[in-house]
Chain A
Amino acid sequence: MAAVATCGTGAGSTGSVVAAGSKNNVTSFQRRGPRASGSDSSYSRLVSIAGTRPSVRNGQLLVSTGLPALDQLLGGGLAVGTVLLIEEDKYNIYSSLLFKYFLAEGIINGHTLLVASAKEDPADILQELPAPLLDDNVKKDFDEDACNHKTAESNIKMKIAWRYQLLPKMEQAGPVSSSRFGHYYDASKKMPQELIEASKWHGFFFPEKSSSTLNIEPCSLTHGYIKLLQFIQNIIYEEGFDGSNPQKKQKNILRIGIQNLGSPLWGDDICCMENGNSHSLTKFLYVLRGLLRNSLSACMITMPTHLIQNKAIISRVTNLSDTVVGLESFIGSERETNPLYKDYHGLIHIRQIPRLNNLIYDVSDVKDLAFKLKRKLFTIEWVQDNYLRQERNIYPPGFSYLLKQKDSAWGEGSLQHSTFLMSFLAKETAFASRLVRHSEPLEQTGSGRALQAAGPRLWRDGRRQEAPGLLVTPP
C-alpha cells in the first residue's frame, strides 16, 4: 500500500528484496507471519510493527479496532490505510463507545493517536477511555459472566445439527494477554492516567482552530474540513508516517479518530438541509483516503448519518469509505418490545467491507448481528443465538423442512430471511433434478435416519413428509 523507501536497512542484505517488501508493500508472495526483527535482518520482509498483524487471507497489514468481535466480522481487523466509518446510533451512545475502544487500543499498542472532534476537547475524550482488561484480574469476571449465562440452560441438552456447526461462532470473550492482537476493555473503568500520559497523541479541536469565517464558495470543502485535512497532512509528514522523513526508530501506526463528522459543528450543513453543500463531505473523504493510502495510518470516523437528509449522500459516503458499520440502537424504537431482541441493546449492520487487492468480498455469512453493552463488556452476537438456544431442540435433524417465509416461494430460504430454521436442514435433503416419488409414505417413528430424499416437487403432489407434529399445513 505504501511505497516506502527503505531507510538504511542493512547494506549487506539482498537489498532489492527487502526494499520491495518493506513495511506493508504486500504482494502475494509475502512470507506469512512477520519475523520479529528489531532492526535489519536480511530476511525480514514485513517490519513488524506493534499491534499489527498480516491478514491470513492476503497478507494485508491489519490493526485491531479495539473490539475483537468486530475484528472478526471485518475479516481479521482494520486494514492499514483504510477508513472505518461508523454510522452513529440515534443518541450517540454506542458509537462513541466504539470510538473510545479504537483509541484505547491505540494507546495499549503504543500507536500514535490523532483525535479530531468539533464537540468535545480531545483531551477530555482521552480521559474517558475504558481501561484494558488484563489477564489476572479478569478471568473471574469472565467466569462469573459465563456462569450467569449458562445456568438457565444447563438442563437443556443440546443436539447440534451439522449445519449449525458450520456457522461462524462469534468470538467469546476470554482472558487477554498483552501480546494479543485485540484487547478487551472494561467499560466501567477509566484508563489509568499513566498510560494516557505515556502515549503520544495529537488533538484537533475545531472550535479552537477555526480562526476566520471565510465565505467559501459552494462545491468546495468547508473551512473545518480544510483545516482538518491540513492538520492530518502535517502530522503524517512531520512524523514520517508516509516515509518521507526516514524514521530512524521503529515504525509506528497513526490512528486517526474523527468524531461526528458531518455534524453542523464542523460547519457542514449536510445534516440541516437537503441540498446544502453536498460535496464538501464527499470531497473530504476522497482527500482523506488519498492521505491514508500513502501512509501507515488507519482511521475511524463516526458520522451521524441518521441526520443526513439527502439519502444519495449517504450512499456516496459509503462508497468513499472502505469499511462501513452501522449501529442501530433499540432505545425508543418499537423493537424494544420484541422478545427476539430483548437481551440486546441494538443491531449492528456491516454495510460494506473493502476489497483490498482482492476480487472477492470477505463478508461473513452472518447477517443478523446484535450488540449488547453489559456492565463491563461490549459484545456482538448473532441474534439467532438467543432464540436458537430455545429452538435447537425442536427441530430434529434427519428430516427435511420445507420453509415458506411469508410471500416467498417454497424453498430452503436464505439465512438472512429465516429466523429460526435454516441451520436444521438435514444433509439428506437432496435437490434431485428429477421428480422422485416414494414407494410408500414414510412413517415417522422417530427412529432411524431418513432414507429417501425429498424432491423439490414433492409439495405439488400434495403429499408432504410429515415429521411428528412439526410441519403444520400452512394457513
Chain B
Amino acid sequence: MESVLALRGLVLLRDSVEWEGRSLLKALIKKAALGGEQVHILGCEVSEEEFRAGFDSSINSRLVYYDLFRDPLNWAQTGEALPGGPLGALQAMCERTDPGPVTVALDSLSWLLLRLPCAALCQALCAMSRQHACRGGGPAAGQLCVLGLLHRELHGPGPMGALSSLAQTEVTLSGTAGQASAHILCRRPRQRPTLETLWFSVLPDLSLDLQGGPPLESQPHPDPHTPQVDPASHLTFNLHLSKREREAKDSLTLPFQFSSEKQQALLRPGPGPATSRIFYEPDAFDDLDPEDPDGDLDV
C-alpha cells in the first residue's frame, strides 16, 4: 500500500463536490516535506493563509509558495508578481527548482485548465518534468512529482481525457457513507495499468490515515464487473451433446472425403431415383413456365 503512495511524475487528484481533495493534497505535501523534498506550491484557488493553515511552522517554512490568487492578472503592478501569467508562473517554478526530489503542487489544475489552452498546459506540464530531469541528471521518473488538483465536474471529457493520457497516476476520490476512498490508477510505461482502491481519512494535523478496507457497515457494490458471460446461453442450438449423439457424430464420414466405399458407390450404377422422390407444389410466388422450367431462356 505504501508503494502506491510513492507517487512520481504527473499525479492527478480528481475530486468532486462531495469528496474534496484539497485536504488530501495537503496531506501529501506534508508527507513530501517531512520526507525532505523541496515543495513548491502554485496557489490559485485559495489564499495563501488559508492554504498554509493546518501545516505546522516547520513545514510552513519549507514550502515555497507562488501566489496567483491575490492578483492573477497583475493589476497591482507590483514587481513581485510572476511574469507571463499562469504559464509563466509554471515556467518560473520549473526554473527555480534545484536538482533532487521535488514535489510541485498545483492548486488547482482546474483553475489553470479554465484559463489556459489545454494543449499549452499539457505541453507545459510535460516540459516541467523533462527540464527537471535534464537539470537533475537523475532518472526522469524518480525526481519530480507534480500533484495537480482537478475538479471533475468542471471539465468535459476532452480535457480530462487529455490530461489522463499524460498522467502517470490518477487518484479519483469518492467514497461511501462518510468514508473517503481513493481509486488509484497507475500507468507504468510499458506495463499494464494497475487499479487499486484505498480507504483513507485525513486527520486534523494533515496526516494520512489509511484503512485497509472498506467500512464495515456498508458494502454497496462488491463486484463492479458483470457476472461471467456465458456465450452458450442464448443459442438456438445445442452445444452439449449426449454420449449417443457424440457417438453418432463420430461415426460419420465426411461427405467430401473420397473413401473407397464412396468410390464404389459412385461406380456402381445406383438404384436410381427410387429411394427419393421430389414432390413439387408451386405456390403463389412461383412463376413457372412449363416450357422453360429453369427460367433462363432469354425470350
Give chain A's interface residues, CB within 8 Å of chain B: 91-93, 96, 119, 128, 157, 159, 161-162, 207, 213, 263-269, 271-274, 304, 306-307, 309, 331-332, 334, 336-340, 387, 391, 393-394, 396-398, 401, 403-404, 406, 419, 421, 426-428, 434-439, 444-447, 449-452, 468-475
Contact = CB atoms under 8 A, between A and B. Distances in A.
A93 B161 contact: no
A338 B126 contact: no
Contacts of A269: 117-119
A264 B193 contact: no
A471 B236 CA distance: 7
A265 B238 contact: no
23 contacts: A91-B192, A207-B130, A213-B120, A264-B122, A265-B126, A269-B117, A271-B158, A272-B117, A272-B162, A304-B165, A309-B158, A334-B226, A338-B229, A387-B231, A394-B241, A426-B255, A435-B280, A435-B281, A437-B279, A439-B276, A449-B253, A469-B241, A475-B236
Given A264-B123, A438-B276, A451-B276, A445 B248 contact: yes
Interface residues of B, number: 61
Q: Provide the main secondary structure of the chain B interface.
A: loop
A469 B242 CA distance: 8
Contacts of A161: 254
B241 A470 contact: yes
A332 B196 CA distance: 12
B155 to A, nearest CB: 9
Nearest to A398: B255
Interface string B186-219: 0100111101000000000000000000000000
Contact of B193 (A91, A406, A444, A475): A91
Interface of B: 117-123, 126-127, 130, 156-159, 161-162, 165-166, 187, 190-193, 195, 225-231, 234, 236-239, 241-242, 244-256, 275-283, 286
Contacts of B278: 436-439
A438 B278 CA distance: 6
| Residue from B158, B248, B277 whose CB has the most chain A CB atoms within 10 Å | B158
A471 B238 contact: yes
A338 B225 contact: no
Given A92-B165, A472-B236, A273 B122 contact: no
Contacts, number: 172
B158 A273 contact: yes
Contacts of B191: 93
B248 A468 contact: yes
| For the complex of A and B, 3 pairs with smallest distance between CB atoms | A446-B248, A272-B118, A264-B122
A389 to B, nearest CB: 14
Nearest to B231: A340
B136 to A, nearest CB: 16
A469 B245 contact: yes
Given A338-B229, A439-B276, A265 B122 contact: yes
A446 B237 contact: no
Given A267-B123, A452-B276, A472 B237 contact: yes
Given A450-B255, A470-B238, A419 B283 contact: no
Given A393-B249, A427-B255, A474-B236, A207 B187 contact: no
| Residue from A96, A264, A434 whose CB has the most chain B CB atoms within 10 Å | A264
Given A269-B117, A332-B193, A439 B279 contact: yes
A207 B126 contact: yes
A282 B157 CA distance: 22
Contacts of B253: 398, 449
B256 to A, nearest CB: 5
Contact of A447 (B130, B225, B251): B251
A346 B118 CA distance: 30
A91 B123 contact: no
B239 A272 contact: no
| Residue from A161, A470, A474 whose CB has the most chain B CB atoms within 10 Å | A470
| Residue from A157, A161, A469 whose CB has the most chain B CB atoms within 10 Å | A469
A272 B122 CA distance: 10
Nearest to A310: B158
A439 B277 contact: yes
A391 B232 CA distance: 11
Given A267-B123, A271-B158, A446-B247, A307 B286 contact: no
Contacts of B161: 271, 306-307
Contacts of B236: 403-404, 471-475
Contact of B255 (A266, A449, A472, A473): A449
Nearest to A273: B158
A380 B112 CA distance: 43
Contacts of A306: 161
A469 B255 CA distance: 20
A121 to B, nearest CB: 9
A442 B267 CA distance: 25
Nearest to A460: B283
A339 B159 contact: no
Contacts of A471: 236-238
A95 B239 CA distance: 37
Given A449-B255, A470-B241, A272 B159 contact: yes
